[in-house]
Structure 1
Amino acid sequence: MMDAYGERLGPGATVGPYVVERLLGSGGMGRVFVAASPTGRRVAMKVIREEYAADPRFRARFAREVEAARRVSGAYTASVIDASTDGPLLWMATLFVPGPSLADRVRDRGPLPEHEVRVLAYELAEALRDIHRVGLVHRDLKPGNILLTDDGPRVIDFGIARVNGTDRLTRTDALVGTPAFMAPEQFVSGAGAGPTADVFALGGVLTYALTGAAPFEGDNPYAIAWHVVHGEPAPLAGTGPLHALIGRCLAKDPAARPTPTEILELLRESAIRPPATASAEDAPPVPERERKEEDQTGQHHAVPGRRPRRRVALGAGALLVSLALGLVAWQQPWTGRGDKGQGAADAAPSSTVPAAAARWTTKLPSDVGHCTATDDLVLCESQKEAVTAYDARTGRRRWGTPRTRDNSVMLTVSPKRSLVIVAEGNNLIGTGAWERQVLRAVDLTTGSDRWNVKAPMGRSAVLSGSDLVVGSAFGISGRNVETGAETWDRTTSSSAPAYPRMVAGAVVTLRPGRGAKRLRAVVERIDPRTGEVRWSRDLPSPDVSWAHQSDKDSLGIEVWNSEMTRMTEYTRFDTSGTRRASHEIDPPQTAGEEPGTIVFGPTWKVVRDRVKGRLVATGLDDGTVRWQLPIAGSDADPYIDAKGRIYVLRANRTLVCLDGAGGRELWRSEPVRTSEPRPSGGGSHLTVRADGVVFAAVGKRTLAAFEPPGRAGASG
């Protein structure tokens, strides 16, 4: 029999219906390859070594791994695409998107900040809840089996998972696992490992993420096992809800450990979700609807809502990678649909589409966050600096202002007053941390502070004359933009969050309902000088967000269901408070009930359908399909500008510009050459000036300017 890892599994070899492209990783029992399906979809394929495939006991274990992985379906766990468990070659295929393991992340860059570990704890508790709900126990939760993606962690490798309450498969299966992250009962002869063993492992994983070391260590596995059963975990520096949670998870008595559901409740009750941050990679996940949008002045404002959408897939890691995330193959040419969605007409081939080249590219000092632009400058948040300014014409770095707190976010920019407003805060959320949060006005020419005042961490802000209106998690307030002095305030620990923005010269604010009380959300117009409410309108749900729309003269509002996974309505008001339109939204169903991305034109919407890998444009009034185009899972989310043009940054760093109304490709750029991974968040790392010049982060530390074809003059 030919070696499974010889020529037969080299590039171009076939395994089932898949064609092998390259080796991704290897371990003692098998290897993982990147392969392509007959339709071009890329998968991560785990292939077992033939010597193990010939062992009946191992075959039973592998079949159990596949069965276990298929049973689990959740935001942070896996779903299997295909597998073979009874042929001469054992394999399992999952969608593929690269992502480092938690072990790799800590090894390469050190322990995670505490706010990231808090979010990780919440997400892994959700994963364990999903695993346990179907009657499984993972039994090998460890940093190497947790993949970090831009959509959150993924729990992988169900190779030793078993049904709760069943006996071990064989005696050789008795002590499988990783000693430093195993529960005491897993080492005790005859003791079963139930769901509480996974909770113990979670405590170890969180300790590792926070400190870079496991809670129990020793010179060999036997020494580690002794410490797990008889010793105490290494003490953690610091105190707080996270530290208390880790201590409870590492309790020797399984009955004393919290359940995943109790962990979720504890994290909610302790209010330890982090605030929005500027960093694309190192920032904790923040509500996706807190992405920035441009208003008519080119300013950006955060919009409220949910956590980042999650691609329904699993990342690929080192050694025994069981599951991997997927890339839907980009189809060329893009295909447009008729007004009634019947028949297809090929879009202009790429050779006839106007081409744009990157006017310039520049390297950033650290991982990029949100960017915006004025006529002269491109302003970007980054991991190390609150704001970095680049010359819009050349890309040359003008200045940078360092962060003074853990987190920072640009709130608004005023070219007329030559300043940018920045909010900064520490990781703790709550009224007790207000004294550690500040508001800064940074000079656009020099990068130095004009003023710096203590204030609750802002989420969005607008300027109206000399009045600065700032929305935070605890309400809304007014300040003098020249001095930072407070002029009025509706900010208290019991106030609802507020998201102000400027629409057609009016200052309006959106206030979602408070979570526990489930009050209705409201939209209101306020006097920027006094804070007085001019008018207020109730909205049909407590869960709302500003819409991503091209119409900058109306108040576009997205209404969501209680889980913030599906938009149910899109409504528009004018600045007098009159409702101008209301449309029920029926987007394509997305796998796992995950939210899609929807952008709105005057009479149409464009939805990203993640299941079928397409953009779908439909009329708002009649729901008729206007056009459809394929979009890869690895491509960024669509971004819409003030003229209804839609931009998509493809995985190969090609920027595509579309006519939103008809789906026609207006222009595309040449690919930008960089080996860097692209930042997460898609449209939040792209901004379009009024003249059509596009500035986009094509890599985590690479910014590029794209000149539309036919535009006279140079950038800036």
Structure 2
Amino acid sequence: MAPQRSSGAGAEAELPEYAGHYRLESCLGSGGMGVVHLARSTSGMKVAVKVVHGQFAKDPEFRGRFRQEVAAARRVSGAFTASVVDADPEAERPWMATLFIPGPTLSDHVKRNGPMEAAQLRRLMAGLAEALRDIHRVGVVHRDLKPSNVLLAEDGPKVIDFGISRPKDSELRTETGKLIGTPPFMAPEQFRRPREVGPAADIFALGSVMVHAATGRGPFDSDSPYVVAYQVVHDEPDLTDVPSNLAPLVLRCLAKEPEDRPTPDELMRELRSVAASYDTQTFIPAQRAGERSVPEPVGKTEQPQPPSRRLRVRRAALVAGALLVVGGVLGSVELLGGERTASRSSSPGTAASVVRAWEAKPLSGDGGVPQCSVGSGRLLCAQRGLVFALNPSDGTLLWRRSVAETTRSGPPVLAGGLVQSLTDERGRLEAFDPASGTTRWQRSVPASNSMRLAGGTMLLTGADGRVTGVDSSSGETKWRRKLPGLSEPYFTAFPGDPLAYTTRASGASSTVVTAVDPGTGTVRWEKRLKGVLRPVGARDGSVFFLSTDAVGATKAVVRYTRRSDSSRRVALPVPRPDAMATVHGNVVHLLATGGSLEAFDLEAGRRLWHLETAVSRGSAPVSDGDHVYVSAADGRLLAVDARNGRLVGQTRPRLAADSDLVTAALPAPVITDHHIYAGAPDGTVFAVDARDPSAW
């Protein structure tokens, strides 16, 4: 069989004969990123196969996103989607095969048959609500729900295409990159703060899809996607011709704020009350001649018909304003937070005890993300200009006190039995009683470029390169001097390890690692190791590092063991940008910008697993051996099985109200006594049971 020739603008002249074991028979559709074929397996089963365009197959970033699409589609059951049959993201031309579903897309149906009747609309809305409930349950946000991504099958609508729309050719662009999605069906938060999008964005899209199904146009119609963007963010939707019994529910879906939109379960309950004769029979009219199922890959921006009826006189001003609210680059699937918070009775202290989940907001207003640690039976937290203590069992506020705004961020640290504050602009150290928050000592210290608590000693490095060791229990200076060979050391220390470490790169080929006794300032050992290294953990005489390339991306994890004077290196499949890591036993857990979470066993010398979380920015991961925990920028806490890398639970988002700001640094979750504690952008501190993430 000769390779199939495709037709249509932008389609490739020659198409492959096979994708894996699937023989490609005909072209169903072509989009900006690939071609979808009708194909058959060896046994004759019909499948729809998406084959990526050759130019994108050469792009490592795109391959990573395609892997994410495959992973997301596989997590969702086939009841409301096109089930993934097979895929090979690593092929020369990456491809994915899904079950072939007979039936038109909603977009094609409306174009050919006009708007749907009221009964059909009710069943469509219920089917899409069920589909989103199924999608959200497994931790996925679709982010591109639109009429061309809804197949009208005989047994109800199917949501398709969990990939990324137009990574290169979006019609809506900014100086900072590309806006991913289809403007008439995007939620306000996708324009205002695209990195902080949760499941409610899909509910907004559902509302827009329902307006299109009912009227043949969108609720924010315009010939210009920039005007659409402005209207989505600022204007009320046009629900003219939407049936009166559905219009209030559609309007709730189109609420500007995510928290004002209904959940999929609430939608289904409301729809049952809309019509007492609610039925679940098929609602697809007979297909017209020549209609066939087209699981549209990606591409065309939806431009609803007929032309806009809502364009304001101030159109030019709106276009200019819209340019200010559009921005961001993000994949079109993203993990989401659950819609419930576990709340259980508590009897802490035994392994069999049940942990009570709680949340507290100790401060009013915008104080930023609380950064917390645990010590002396308290949950110790810092927020802008304040330090406070909470009861770790129920979140009760025990004490709160003001502190000077610091030049360094981070949670309060307990050392020498006291809560240690950070150095402020005036070079002041202060220590508080953890039981009451009263000051136990304070002192001025030389202005320092860096500080680090190591064991019971605060290490301060001054501008002259001298290091001062301050006793954390008394505030007295233990020692002060320049360390040999170290011009301006920046120290790193890890819980349970008696030493502090500083590194200095020697060009791009090696790093000198120096281990210092923080109590005396004595250099215990020094070693030159291959590569540019950054320490991320230490245990039992071994130090763990990330090895970075010329632009700072992590390309390997390294363990150096002092006793045997040996090192072990495990290379990453691809360099990971802005990676953060933690160590548990001999396993390094690494999270990179973009959401790649990986586990590397330095004893076995191999990567254990890899998960695309789709968290665009997260905290450093932490692990208790059973799970790996990560905080997301939208306030979610994610739990991943430490054995196999499977997502097993996550909390709901907790975003700051009316905030378009992105948190600069996210504090890592805190693990202790079967609790996981985390801070969120809305100012809350919350606790969940570490042993049962599925109940979060």
Give the TM-score normalised by structure 1. Answer: 0.46
Structure with higher Rg: it is 2
